[in-house]
Structure 1
Amino acid sequence: METKQIGTTDLRIPPVAFGCNVLGWTMDRKQSFKVLDELYEMGFNYMDTADVYSRWVDGHEGGESERILGAWMKERGLRGRIIVATKVGMDVGQGHIDLSRSHITQQIEKSLHNLQTDYVDIYFSHRHDPNVEVADVLETYAGLIKEGKVRHVGASSFPLDVFKKAIALHEQHELPKYQIYQPEYSILHRTDFENGYQDFVLQNDIAVTNYWALANGFLTGKYESIDDIKGTSRESNLKKYFDDKGMRVLKALQQVSQDTGISQAGVTIARTIAQPGITAPIVSATKPGQLQAFREAATNSLSKDHLAMLNKASLDG
């Protein structure tokens, strides 16, 4: 499996990243270990988590995902072979987005404890904090890098002007560089990334691991009509996709799937991998069988005609 470099670092990751938000949420510890085992055996060793996962569940406080991932790495003796990315800044009890020095230094200790490790490979600013100067955030990260607790840093869902400022500060003042960026991006949500961010990351050697690549499961082909989601926990998140554009995309995915023998999820991930600037889409799975789409996407390239068909179907209007 061909790996891709993270920015200008020495890290290389597989073409699909595993979204660990499901660990301890829709999967218990036993099922999580089973999926992680198969994932690793297939060669996928980049794990994307966050201190806030899965605080949104009643009775959860955040850190559930990190704790399961940490326990799995410890029990299997795999820490040195896993590339771990976690994030800081979302509300884990403080009531607001927080990238202050005190919060970051507190949360990195919690994350390291949860993950049962003394360092993380990539530490993300989960969201931009407008109340903290960008330079101050980068200086905090510089301290963590110097202490050996963080190897590299990344940013998620930043306003483009703020992200550009962060890269300029790196160049002007030798502060840490955000080596990796994490936007929402899928065949159904193209505009934000493709209009500005895409050119910028390509010009500045910044890796991209995009989230919601499967649009909450809509693009897997599991749901063919809005009737399929009525009364389910996914209804509120998925109903917006059942418009003319969404149905065109599903039809095109189905056609490419039939032509290639690849699952619709595999086609969707492969299409994302093929886009300029994308290093590895983040995809979750809750059953070992769902990991087949990872392998399909990593080992198959879509033809120019199929990519053109998908791009045309996903145009607005």
Structure 2
Amino acid sequence: MEKVKIGTSDLEVAPINLGGNVFGWTLDETGSFDILDAFIEGGFNFIDTADTYAWWVNGTGGQSETIIGNWLKSRGNRDKVVIATKVGSETQAHPSDISKRHILKSVDESLQRLQSDYIDLYYTHFDDNKTPVEETLSAYEEVIRAGKVRYVAASNVSPARLEESFTAAETHGLPRYVALQPHYNLLERAGYETDYAPLVEKYGLTVFPYWALAAGFLTGKYRSEADLNKSVRGGGAKKYLNEKGLAVLDALDKVAAKHQSTPATVSLAWLLAQPHIGAPIVSATSKQQLATIFDAAKLTLDSEDLEELDNVSKP
């Protein structure tokens, strides 16, 4: 399988990023191990988590990193996988925080849970919009120099603060972000394509979209209000139950039928066909869901498919 190089780094990843937000939430440790094993056996190597997953269960988080750490230790495969985690997100215990003090404390806690000496890709998860970008980047410089982090990236950072971060990195010789993790999918295009895509192009970032399947809506599982009860995550898909959302599902059904595929696979294949997209982030709770995800890396949509999906999903 052809791998994608992340920005200016030397990290190379297969084109699906396994989301670890379900570990310790809708999947216990045994189930998480099964999914992680199957993911690696499928030829993929990129796992995404955060220090605060799943804070909505216990108020603080840490379960996802702990499970991944236990899995890494039991499998002895740390050098075979690329681990991304994040810092700065709000929990019941603390507000969003990307101060140097918080980063230096949090990175050590993440490493302990992951049972690893280093983190491959460390994200600014949420910007607190008050810490000077130089302070955040200097904290990253310290943890990179200590060998605790290899590269840094950004997730929920405004275009203005992102631009400011690159300027500061260049001016002061501080670490620069190599990737962006935005909210981007067939039903959430405007914010990324208008505000972030120009910066991605300008700074050579690799993009790893989160909520790549629009809270599960793009799987086709939710087609009426009654369907929302099919999953504990169904409520997140409710906002897409409108004329546009259903039109996108119709187009996905048509393209999926043409390729003997599924709406979820086609949705991910559409993302992979967009400029600078490295690996959509998708979580899975069953091997059947994983198979659907894996198929996206093998599906090449033609110009007719892309035009049909583009027309019906335009912002």
With structure 2 as the length reference, what TM-score do the two structures score?
0.97
1:148 is matched with which residue? Answer: 147
1:10 is matched with which residue? Answer: 10
1:89 is matched with which residue? Answer: 88
Q: How does 1:237-276 map to 2 (within 5 A)?
A: 237-276=236-275
- Deviation for aligned residue 1:227: 2.0
2:291 is matched with which residue? Answer: 292
Q: How does 1:105-116 map to 2 (within 5 A)?
A: 105-116=104-115
1:46 is matched with which residue? Answer: 46
1:229 and 2:228 matched: yes
**Which runs of no fewer than 5 residues in structure 1 stay unpaired?**
none
Q: How does 1:1-317 map to 2 (within 5 A)?
A: 1-57=1-57, 59=58, 61-230=60-229, 233-316=232-315
Distance (Å, rounded) in 2 between the aligned partners of 1:25 and 1:88: 19
C-alpha change, 1:130 and 1:202, in structure 2 (3 Å) is same
Distance (Å, rounded) in 2 between the aligned partners of 1:118 and 1:60: 26
Residues 279-302 of structure 1: per-residue CA shift (max 9 Å, x gap): 111000000111112221111210
Residues 197-250 of structure 1: per-residue CA shift (max 9 Å, x gap): 112212211111110000111100112222211586334311110111000000
Contact 2:60 2:93 in 1 (8 A): no
Contact 1:266 1:296 in 2 (8 A): yes
Distance (Å, rounded) in 2 between the aligned partners of 1:234 and 1:279: 25
Return the letter of the residue paired with 1:24: G
Return the letter of the residue paired with 1:260: H
| Worse-matched range after superposition: 288-297 or 69-78 | 288-297
**Which runs of no fewer than 5 residues in structure 2 stay unpaired?**
none
Distance (Å, rounded) in 1 between the aligned partners of 2:225 and 2:93: 38
- Deviation for aligned residue 1:93: 5.0
- Deviation for aligned residue 1:94: 4.2
Look up the SS of the partner of 2:204 in the other structure. coil
- Deviation for aligned residue 1:263: 1.5
Distance (Å, rounded) in 2 between the aligned partners of 1:112 and 1:231: 36
C-alpha change, 1:196 and 1:60, in structure 2 (3 Å) is closer
C-alpha change, 1:122 and 1:231, in structure 2 (3 Å) is closer
Percent of aligned pairs with the same amino acid: 42
Distance (Å, rounded) in 2 between the aligned partners of 1:54 and 1:94: 13
Contact 2:219 2:264 in 1 (8 A): yes
C-alpha change, 1:235 and 1:35, in structure 2 (3 Å) is closer
Distance (Å, rounded) in 1 between the aligned partners of 2:176 and 2:310: 32
Residues matched between the structures, number:
315
Look up the SS of the partner of 1:299 in the other structure. coil
Residues 37-62 of structure 1: per-residue CA shift (max 9 Å, x gap): 000011111111000000101x3531
C-alpha change, 1:71 and 1:88, in structure 2 (3 Å) is same
| Worse-matched range after superposition: 246-255 or 168-177 | 168-177
C-alpha change, 1:4 and 1:78, in structure 2 (3 Å) is same
Distance (Å, rounded) in 1 between the aligned partners of 2:294 and 2:123: 26
- Deviation for aligned residue 1:274: 0.5
Contact 2:59 2:93 in 1 (8 A): no
Distance (Å, rounded) in 2 between the aligned partners of 1:227 and 1:92: 31
Return the letter of the residue paired with 1:163: L
C-alpha change, 1:75 and 1:230, in structure 2 (3 Å) is closer
Return the letter of the residue paired with 1:82: V
Contact 2:222 2:237 in 1 (8 A): no
Residues 52-96 of structure 1: per-residue CA shift (max 9 Å, x gap): 000101x35311000000111110011011100100011245431
Distance (Å, rounded) in 2 between the aligned partners of 1:80 and 1:60: 31
Return the letter of the residue paired with 2:295: E
With structure 1 as the length reference, what TM-score do the two structures score?
0.96
Task: Give me the CA root mean square deviation.
Answer: 1.3
Contact 2:216 2:234 in 1 (8 A): no
Look up the SS of the partner of 1:178 in the other structure. coil
Residues 115-161 of structure 1: per-residue CA shift (max 9 Å, x gap): 00011001111111222100110001000000000000011121101
Return the letter of the residue paired with 2:114: L
Distance (Å, rounded) in 1 between the aligned partners of 2:186 and 2:230: 26
Distance (Å, rounded) in 1 between the aligned partners of 2:150 and 2:97: 21
Return the letter of the residue paired with 1:30: T
Distance (Å, rounded) in 1 between the aligned partners of 2:103 and 2:39: 30
